[in-house]
């Protein structure tokens, strides 16, 4: 692999390092928009934008989600991508500590990036959603619902930052030395800065002043052939430290998956990916290994609730019991 020299080469190397596949070579500048495919794609984008603007002008006003009763319970709002399903299933299949009220709401896939937060609350950006080619919204319907900050005591954002990609970069640095540590850390910061979940969590924290826990995606459950276990152990430690540092710099706390769910510091144990589900409650294909199941959720959810401010020194940590 080449070194860090050259601006164009640097960008391409980053993409190779942090993704499974190298990106296709882009057309030369000036010719990019001249190809038939580019013109067709641009026309399609403009048509969708026009459609979004027309519908945006006539859409109904936002309606605030019903506020949970202020009955002394600690109210936690969990907003998530498809990775949230494991925790929602865990909450459904167990008895949540009666001191807590936990609400789940989210969007899957690229639609997750349409969730935004401003001074008034958390809502779905209707225009962004219409510009997406997908329209699956089983856990945010009606789309006019908005979440008021004073309705909850703390927030959790289950995002999409790919822990496995960051781990791959740190491991390659430790075993090949092709990149400097500063180069790796700059790339991690770039990924964190671009992640919709991190941006949403930061916006909620800044607007509300309330605690926000933001989660990266768990390691995929695809077994890795580890050539140097000591290097992998250290790379995983550095991966978690880098994510935690980037989140804390934005006023966010985070929770990592328990060590008992991790295989060789490189992947999630396959048993925790079997029979995982979509936000619509449909079981994933057998070979799906990016999303986790209810068993995984039950191990992580207590830590999430504790990090969200539910843990009180005088009463102890929140409890989950089998339903």
pLDDT in tens, 267-306: 999 999 998 888 878 888 888 899 999 999 999 999 999 9
Distance between CA 111 and CA 128 in Å, rounded?
A: 8
Kindly report the pTM of this predicted structure. Answer: 0.79
| Whole-number pLDDT of residue 196 | 95
- Separation CA 181–CA 37 (nearest Å): 39
Strand 74-80 and strand 154-162: pairing?
parallel
- Using the CB atoms, write b or e for 167-189: b if 16+ within 10 Å: bbbbbbbbeeeebeeebbbebbe
Helix/strand/coil percentages in the chain, nearest 5: 45, 20, 35
Structure tokens at 203: 């916006």
The CA distance from 131 to 315, in Å, is 47
Q: Is 316 left (phi over 0), alpha (psi -120 to 50) or beta?
A: left
Q: How many CA atoms lie within 13 A of 228 on its CB side?
A: 14
Instruction: For the chain of 323 residues, list the mean pLDDT of each consecutive stretch of 10.
Output: 42 52 44 68 75 57 74 92 94 90 90 93 84 61 86 96 96 90 93 96 97 97 93 97 97 97 96 89 84 96 90 46 46
Residue pair 284/292 in contact by the 8 Å Cβ criterion? no
Q: How far apart are CA 23 and CA 289, in angstroms?
A: 22
Domain ranges of the chain: 59-64+75-311
- Mode of pairing for the β-strands spanning 63-64 and 145-146: parallel
Q: Check residue 97 and give its pLDDT.
A: 87
Strand-pair category, 100-106 with 74-80: parallel
* 59-64+75-311: CATH topology: Rossmann fold (3.40.50)
DSSP string, 75-120: EEEEEESGGGHHHHHHHHHEEE-TTEEEEEEE--GGGGGGEEEETT
Find the length of the chain: 323
């Amino acid at each position: 692999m080449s070194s860090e020299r050259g601006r164009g080469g640097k960008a391409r190397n980053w993409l190779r390092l942090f993704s499974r596949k190298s990106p296709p070579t882009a057309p030369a500048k000036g010719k990019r928009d001249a190809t038939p495919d580019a013109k067709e794609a641009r026309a399609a984008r403009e048509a969708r934008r026009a459609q979004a603007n027309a519908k945006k002008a006539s859409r109904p006003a936002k309606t605030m989600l019903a506020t949970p009763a202020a009955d002394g319970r600690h109210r936690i709002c969990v907003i998530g991508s498809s990775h949230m399903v494991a925790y929602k299933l865990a909450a459904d299949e167990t008895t949540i500590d009666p001191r807590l009220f936990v609400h789940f709401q989210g969007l899957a896939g690229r639609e997750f990036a349409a969730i935004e937060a401003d001074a008034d609350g958390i809502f779905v950006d209707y225009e962004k959603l219409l510009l997406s080619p997908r329209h699956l919204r089983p856990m945010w319907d009606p789309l006019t619902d908005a979440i008021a900050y004073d309705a909850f005591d703390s927030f959790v954002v289950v995002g999409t930052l790919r822990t496995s990609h960051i781990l791959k970069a740190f491991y390659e640095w430790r075993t090949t030395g092709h990149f400097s540590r500063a180069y790796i850390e700059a790339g991690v910061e770039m990924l964190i800065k671009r992640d919709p979940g991190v941006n949403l969590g930061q916006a909620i924290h800044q607007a509300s002043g309330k605690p926000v826990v933001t989660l990266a995606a768990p390691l995929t459950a695809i077994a890795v052939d580890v050539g140097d276990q000591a290097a992998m152990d250290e790379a995983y430690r550095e991966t978690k430290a880098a994510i935690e540092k980037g989140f804390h710099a934005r006023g966010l706390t985070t929770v990592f998956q328990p060590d008992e769910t991790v295989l060789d510091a490189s992947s999630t144990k396959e048993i925790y990916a079997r029979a995982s589900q979509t936000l619509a409650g449909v079981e994933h294909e057998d070979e799906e290994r990016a999303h986790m199941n209810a068993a995984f959720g039950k191990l992580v959810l207590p830590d999430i609730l504790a990090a969200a401010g539910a843990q009180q020194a005088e009463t102890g940590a929140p409890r989950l019991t089998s339903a």
